[in-house]
Amino acid sequence: MSAELARDRPIAIARGFRLQWEDAQNAHVLLYPEGMVRLSESAGAILSRCDGERTLDGVLDSLREAFPGADLDADVVEFLTIALEKGWIEYGRH
Each residue's pLDDT tens digit, 47-83: 999 999 999 999 999 999 999 999 999 999 999 999 9
* Angstrom distances, CA of residue 72 to CA of 29, 38, 92: 21, 21, 23
45 and 63 in contact (C-beta within 8 Å)? Answer: yes
How far is the C-alpha of 4 from the C-alpha of 48, rounded, in Å? 20
pLDDT average, residue stretch 16-31: 96
Domains of the chain, first to last: 11-89 (1.10.10.1150)
Sign of the CA dihedral 45, 46, 52, 54?
positive
pTM for this prediction: 0.91
Burial class (CB within 10 angstroms; exposed 0-12, middle 13-18, buried 19+) of 58: middle
pLDDT-derived band at 1, boundaries 50, 70, 90: very low
Using DSSP, state whether 25 is helix, strand or coil: coil
